Structure 1
Amino acid sequence: MGHRGHKLGYEHLRRHDLRHTALTWFAAAGVPLHVLRRIAGHGSLTTTQRYLHPDIRKITAAGAALSAHFSALRAPRSLPGPIVMTR
């Protein structure tokens, strides 16, 4: 980035870092992994996966969604209870 980058405090940014960020944003927007692989020009999905860095909000939201899913599975349903066999 030259001298201008140093003055602004962005000297740590490299083009490679920006690729990681862009692919992460595409993934957050819902672009499927196989499409991201083509955008990045990677040979394998594994390489593309190494580029993705979900932020803590996305990770927390994913955990909350999974918890809600399991809560719904455990919730009592409006189905008849078990049949009790009597002799």
Structure 2
Amino acid sequence: MEGLRPMVAQRLLAAGDSPDARIFSGPRGGRISGAVLRDATHWDDGVAELGFEHLRRHDLRHTGLTWFADAGVPPHVLRKIAGHGSLTTTQRYPHPDAHRITAGAALSARLSVVRAPRSLPSPIVVAR
């Protein structure tokens, strides 16, 4: 992965500040189409060889955003990463693992502390 850093940095510099600039472009310039990406990565052959014919490239986008969300990245940042115009769209992407959802356990633990009966002080006995 470290070998990619200089290449991406160089492409970022070359792209400049134009809102239409692309770090990577298709063989004829412009956007990289799904067909070009599928062919360049041999996606269909790879997933078939692994036995995951049902896996789509877009599923990786959902997985990536789920991992970011599980790592604590706030939804408004996820929206920027995904390039979504609406937070509503972004909220459809993360699919948290049920084992990672600890809010219920944390709330239960807190409520058990709050509801726990306090020990009453022992009655004061006055000697006569």
* TM-score, scaled relative to structure 1: 0.77
Determine the structure 1 residue equivalent to 2:115: 74
Deviation for aligned residue 1:9: 0.8
> Which structure shows the bigger proportion of residues in helix conformation?
1
- Which structure has more relative contact order (CA 8 Å, sep 6+)? It is 1
Unpaired segments ≥5 residues, structure 2: 1-42, 120-128
User: Does structure 1 residue 64 correspond to structure 2 residue 114?
Assistant: no
User: Which residue number in structure 2 is paired with residue 50 of structure 1?
Assistant: 92
Using the alignment, how far apart are the partners of 1:68 and 1:23 within structure 2? Answer: 29
Q: Which runs of 4+ in 1 moved over 6 A?
A: none
Kindly report the root-mean-square deviation, in angstroms, between the aligned alpha carbons of the 2 structures. Answer: 1.7
Greater CA radius of gyration, 1 or 2?
2
Once residues 85 and 61 of structure 2 are traced to their aligned partners in structure 1, the CA distance between those partners, rounded to angstroms, is 16
Aligned to 1:82: none
Consecutive unaligned residues in structure 1, runs of 5 or more? 79-87
Cα distance, 1:52 vs structure 2: 1.1
Report the counterpart of residue 13 of structure 1 in structure 2: 55
Q: Percent identity?
A: 73
Residue 74 (structure 2) aligns with: 32
Shift in CA distance, 77/47, structure 1 to aligned 2, threshold 3 Å: farther
